[in-house]
Amino acid sequence: MRVLNMVQAINEALDLALAKDERVLVFGEDVGRLGGVFRVTEGLQAKYGESRVFDTPLAESGILGMAIGLAMGGMRPVAEIQFAGFLYPALDQILSHLGRWRHRSRGRVGLPVVVRAPYGGGVHTPEQHADSPEAILAHTPGVKVVIPASPERAKGLLLAAIEDEDPVFFLEAIKLYRGARAEVPEGYYTLPLGKARILREGKAATLIGYGGMVEVMLEAAEVAKREGVEVMVVDLETLVPLDEDTLLAAVRETGRAIVVYEAMRTGGFGAEIAARIAEGALDYLQAPVLRVAGYDAPYPPFSAIEHLYRPNAKRVLAALRKVLTY
Amino acid sequence: MKPKVVRYLDKGEFPLAEEEALRLYRAMRRARFFDEKALTLQRQGRLGVYPPFMGQEAAQVGVALALEEGDWVVPSYRESAMLLAKGLPIHTLILYWRAHPAGWRFPEGVRAVNPYIPIATQIPQAVGLALAGRYRGEDWVVATSIGDGGTSEGDFHEGLNFAAVFDAPVVFLVQNNGYAISVPRSKQMRVDYVARRAEGYGMPGVVVDGNDAFAVYLEAKKAVERARKGEGPTLLEALTYRLAPHTTSDDPSRYRSKEEEEAWRRKDPILRLRKALEERGLWDEERERALLAELEEEFSRELALADSAPEPRPEEIVEHVYAEMGPDQKRAWEALRRGLHVEEVG
C-alpha cells in the first residue's frame, strides 16, 4: 500500500467526497487557486471548478454563516478555517447557530456542515497560529468534534464527517500534516465517528489523548516498555460524541489514568475526561488522574522555549512515574 | 447628495393594481391584529416575552408579498408580520412566542426559518441559503431583515460583502425604525441613510418611505426580480418607526418622547394605505368591520389550536440535538422520560 502524509490523505478524502456527491462544496480563504496555505486543497479547484471549490472573502464569520445557509438550502459545505485560532471571529455563528439549528427548528433544519481547521503547535508557527480550541467547540451543544491522529484515520474520518447529518469540526494537527506518514487505503471508505481506539495494550497505566498527542503518547509508551512497563494507549479520535464506554473500560483495566492534551490545562478537554473517569471509574483508581497539558498561559510564540509548552514524551513519562509510585 | 426616498402615498399616486393593493392592506391589517392580540395574551400571561412590530407592517408585509411562494424569508425576531405574510400559520407563531416546542418547527411548506435572536447573524446565513438555490438549480430568492442598530454588527458587513462578491440573490431589508432599543440612529452611525453603504459593497441601495406600503412593495418587487435574474443583491432601507416598545419588557418613555410617538402615529402605515384605498372607493368602514370580524374568527380558531397543543414532554429537552442521539443525550432522555434526574440513573 502507498504511504501518504496527512495533507495528502485529507486532500484525497476531499477529492473523493467532491466526486461522489455534487452537493459537497469546499471553500475558505486561499483554498482555491493556492490550494490552501498547507496545500490540503491542492488541485481540487482545477479538477472540480470554481463553483465547487472556491476562495471566500477574508471573513471567518461570513464563512461559517454562509456554510450554515448553504446547508440549510440542501448543500454539504466543507469550510476551511485557515488556522483554528482564527475561528474566534466566527464564534457567534458557531455558538449561537451551528449546533443549535436542529434543536431550535425541532428537527426541520439539520446542518451537515464540516469545518476543517489546522490546530496545535510544534512547528514554530507565528503567534496565534498554534491554538487548540477543541474544548470551546466540545462545549457547544449540537456539534461534533473529531481530531484524527494519522493519515489513514484522517481520510476515513473526514469522509464520515462529510456524510454526517450534523455539524462536525475536524481539527487537523499541524505537526502531523507532513510529520505523520502511513499506509492509506485507496478509494472511498469511512471510519465511524464516536469510537475511541485502543492503540496499545498494557496493564500498568492508561494514557488517553487525541490528535497530535497520540504520537507523543506512543513514544512515551515505547520508552516505558524498554523499562519493562507496559501502558495502554487510547486515541479518543472523536471528542463529541465521546466514547465513554471504551474510555472507562480502558481505565478500569489499569487503575491509573493520564490524560494528555496540548491546549491550556484549565478547562481543557482533558478536564472533561478526568471528570468522566472520576464519575465512572473511581472505585478502580489506584492513583489520582493526572493531566499532562499546555501551561495556563497563551501558547508561547518564543521559538527557543516554545517546545516546553507542548506536552512531550518526557513529560508523559514523568507523570507515569508519579502514578506508578503513588 | 441625499438619496431619494421613494414614496407614493399622500401624493395621490396609486401605482398598483387594485387587487394587489387590497391584498397588501388585508395582510397588513391581519398582522396588526395579531400584534394587538399578542400584546394582550402576553399581559394575560399566555405568551412569553414578545417583540411587537406595530408601525412596521408596510415594511415587513411589503417585502414578504413581493416574494414568490418558493422564495425564503430569513427573519430577525421582530419580523412576525413578515412571517405571517409568508404563510406561517397563526397558531404556530403563537406557540413560537409561547416558547412551546411545537411552534419551533415551522411547517415544511412554509419557506421561512425561525427568527434570529442574536443580531445580524442571519445576514451571512441568508447569503448561503440564497446560493444553495443556485447550486440546486432553483431560482429562489431570499429576503432577510435587520434593524438600523443591527447594521453596526460585523456580520452585517461580512454578509453584504459576501452577497455582492458571489452575486447572491438576496434582498436585504433594513427596517430603520430610528432606534436600537434605546440608542438613536444618530449615535449608531455617522451616515444619514444605511443605504448609502450599499455602494461600498457594490450593490444598489434604495431608500423607501417604510410606512408607504406601495413604495416598499414596488421597490422590493424590483429587487426580487433583479435577484432572480442573477443580477445580485439589493440593500433596501425602509424608514419606519416602532410604535410599541422594543419588547413587552421595555419602557420606551425612558428614551423617546410622547410627541415623537404621536407624530409617527399619524404616519401609521395602515391608516395611510387605508386612506388611499378609501379615496379610490376600494375600502370603507363596512368592509373594515367585515375584515375585523373575519380576523377575529380566524384568530380564535388559531388560538384554540395553539391552546390544544400538548404539554411538552421533559425529554424533548435533549431531542433534536443531533440527527441521532449520542450516548449522553440518550442517557438524559431515558432519565427525563422516567421522571428521574439523570444523576439518579448515571
Express each pLDDT in A44-103 by its tens digit: 999 999 999 999 999 999 999 999 999 999 999 999 999 999 999 999 999 999 999 999
Check whether residue A92 and residue A172 sit in a common domain.
Answer: yes
**What is the C-alpha to C-alpha distance for residues B254 and A88, in angstroms, rounded to an integer?**
36
B chain contacts of residue A99, beta-carbon cutoff 8 Å:
321
What distance in Å separates residue B214's CA from the closest CA in chain A?
30
Return the CATH number at A33.
3.40.50.970
Element (H, E) at A138: helix A134-138
B121 and A96 in contact by Cβ < 8 A? yes
B327 and A165 in contact by Cβ < 8 A? no
Q: What is the pLDDT of residue A153?
A: 98
B165 and A57 in contact by Cβ < 8 A? yes
Q: What is the pLDDT of residue B3?
A: 86
- Last-in-domain residue among A153, A183, A213: A183
Candidates B321, B324, B346; nearest CB to A141 = B321
- Last-in-domain residue among A150, A183, A216: A183
What distance in Å separates residue B170's CA from the closest CA in chain A?
12
State ipTM. 0.96
Return the CATH number at A222.
3.40.50.920
Check whether residue A106 and residue A231 sit in a common domain.
Answer: no
B323 and A93 in contact by Cβ < 8 A? no
Domains assigned to chain B: 5-312 (3.40.50.970), 313-346 (no CATH)
Annotated catalytic residue within B29, B98, B242, B272:
B242
Q: Would strands A3-5 and A181-183 be described as parallel, antiparallel, or unpaired?
A: antiparallel
Q: Does residue B272 carry a catalytic annotation?
A: no
B105 and A106 in contact by Cβ < 8 A? yes
Let me know if residue A189 belongs to a domain.
no
* Contact in structure between A69 and B130 (CB atoms under 8 Å): yes
B chain contacts of residue A74, beta-carbon cutoff 8 Å:
132, 136
Check whether residue A153 and residue A229 sit in a common domain.
Answer: no
CA–CA distances in Å: residue A84 to residues A5, A132, A173, A221, A302: 20, 7, 10, 29, 19
Other residues' Cβ atoms within 10 Å of the Cβ of residue B12: 8
Q: What is the 3-state secondary structure (H, E, C) of B133-164?
A: HHHCCCCCCEEEEEECHHHHCHHHHHHHHHHH
B321 and A74 in contact by Cβ < 8 A? no
Q: Does residue B96 carry a catalytic annotation?
A: no
Give the nearest chain B residue to A107 (CA atoms): B320
Let me know if residue A41 belongs to a domain.
yes
| Domain limits for position A225 | 197-324
Q: Does A306 have pLDDT greater than 90?
A: yes
DSSP letters of A206-262? EEEE-GGGHHHHHHHHHHHHHTT---EEEE--EEETT-HHHHHHHHHHHS-EEEEEE
Size of interface A-B (CB pairs under 8 A): 148
Nearest to A116 by CA among A156, A66, A167: A167
CA–CA distances in Å: residue A92 to residues A145, B153, B160, B169, B330: 17, 11, 17, 24, 27
Let me know if residue A126 belongs to a domain.
yes
| Average pLDDT of the residues in A110-125 | 96
Q: Which of A312-316, B24-28, B215-219, B251-255 has the lowest mean pLDDT?
A: B251-255
Residue ranges with strand state E in A20-75:
24-28, 53-55
B chain contacts of residue A69, beta-carbon cutoff 8 Å:
74, 124-132
Check whether residue A119 and residue A157 sit in a common domain.
Answer: yes
Residue A132's pLDDT band (cuts 50, 70, 90): very high
Let me know if residue A270 belongs to a domain.
yes
B chain contacts of residue A166, beta-carbon cutoff 8 Å:
322-323
What distance in Å separates residue B274's CA from the closest CA in chain A?
37
Other residues' Cβ atoms within 10 Å of the Cβ of residue B330: 13
Residue B344's pLDDT band (cuts 50, 70, 90): confident
**What is the C-alpha to C-alpha distance for residues A254 and A117, in angstroms, rounded to an integer?**
34
Check whether residue A43 and residue A177 sit in a common domain.
Answer: yes
Check whether residue A73 and residue A143 sit in a common domain.
Answer: yes
Strands of the sheet with A197-200, listed across from one edge: A197-200, A232-235, A206-209, A257-264, A290-294
* Contact in structure between A41 and A65 (CB atoms under 8 Å): no
Q: What is the pLDDT of residue B345?
A: 73
- The residue with cell 442573477 is B230
Other residues' Cβ atoms within 10 Å of the Cβ of residue A197: 16
What distance in Å separates residue A321's CA from the closest CA in chain B?
32
Give the nearest chain A residue to B329 (CA atoms): A241
* Contact in structure between B173 and B238 (CB atoms under 8 Å): yes
A chain contacts of residue B324, beta-carbon cutoff 8 Å:
165
Q: Would strands A206-209 and A257-264 be described as parallel, antiparallel, or unpaired?
A: parallel
Let me know if residue A191 belongs to a domain.
no
B chain contacts of residue A70, beta-carbon cutoff 8 Å:
128-129, 131-132, 135
A chain contacts of residue B150, beta-carbon cutoff 8 Å:
none
* Interface residues of chain B, partner chain A, Cβ below 8 Å: 74, 101-102, 104-106, 108, 113-114, 117-118, 121, 123-133, 135-136, 154-155, 158-159, 161-162, 165, 319-324, 326-328, 346
For the annotated catalytic residues of A, the residue numbers are 129
Let me know if residue A192 belongs to a domain.
no
Other residues' Cβ atoms within 10 Å of the Cβ of residue B278: 14
What distance in Å separates residue A109's CA from the closest CA in chain B?
8
* Contact in structure between A148 and A136 (CB atoms under 8 Å): no
Range A300-304 contact pairs with CB under 8 angstroms and sequence separation of 24 or more: A301/A126, A301/A127, A301/A128, A301/A130, A303/A124
Check whether residue A204 and residue A240 sit in a common domain.
Answer: yes
What distance in Å separates residue B123's CA from the closest CA in chain A?
8
Nearest to A171 by CA among A300, A44, A309, A269: A269
Check whether residue A38 and residue A87 sit in a common domain.
Answer: yes
Q: What is the 3-state secondary structure (H, E, C) of chain B?
A: CCCCEECCCCCCCCCCCHHHHHHHHHHHHHHHHHHHHHHHHHHCCCCCCCCCCCCCHHHHHHHHHCCCCCCEEECECCCHHHHHHCCCCHHHHHHHHCCCHHHCCCCCCCCECCCECCCCCHHHHHHHHHHHHHHCCCCCCEEEEEECHHHHCHHHHHHHHHHHHCCCCEEEEEEECCEECCEEHHHCCCCCCHHHHHHHHCCCEEEEECCCHHHHHHHHHHHHHHHHCCCCCEEEEEECCCCCCCCCCCCHHHCCCHHHHHHHHCCCHHHHHHHHHHHCCCCCHHHHHHHHHHHHHHHHHHHHHHHCCCCCCHHHHHCCCCCCCCHHHHHHHHHHHCCCCHHHHC
Check whether residue A141 and residue A15 sit in a common domain.
Answer: yes
Candidates A77, A105, A142; nearest CB to B321 = A142
Give the nearest chain B residue to A99 (CA atoms): B321
Q: What is the pLDDT of residue A76?
A: 98
Check whether residue A125 and residue A213 sit in a common domain.
Answer: no
Let me know if residue A188 belongs to a domain.
no
Q: Does B236 have pLDDT greater than 70?
A: yes
Angle in degrees, CA A284, A256, A194, rounded to 5: 85
What number of residues does chain A have? 326
Give residue-wise pLDDT tens across range A276-305.
999 999 999 999 999 999 999 999 999 999
Residue B346's pLDDT band (cuts 50, 70, 90): low
Q: What is the pLDDT of residue A145?
A: 98
Candidates A72, A77, A96; nearest CB to B118 = A96
A93 and B121 in contact by Cβ < 8 A? yes
- Last-in-domain residue among A183, A205, A228: A183
Check whether residue A163 and residue A201 sit in a common domain.
Answer: no
A69 and B105 in contact by Cβ < 8 A? no
CA–CA distances in Å: residue B184 to residues B54, B147, B189: 18, 12, 9
A chain contacts of residue B343, beta-carbon cutoff 8 Å:
none
Candidates A69, A104, A141; nearest CB to B129 = A69
Domain count, chain A: 2
Other residues' Cβ atoms within 10 Å of the Cβ of residue B334: 14
Check whether residue A174 and residue A289 sit in a common domain.
Answer: no
A70 and B105 in contact by Cβ < 8 A? no
Q: Does B331 have pLDDT greater than 80?
A: yes
Q: b/e per residue, A132-155, with b = 16+ CB within 10 A?
A: bbbbbbbebebbbbbbbbbbbbbb
Q: Does A162 have pLDDT greater than 70?
A: yes
Q: Does A160 have pLDDT greater than 80?
A: yes
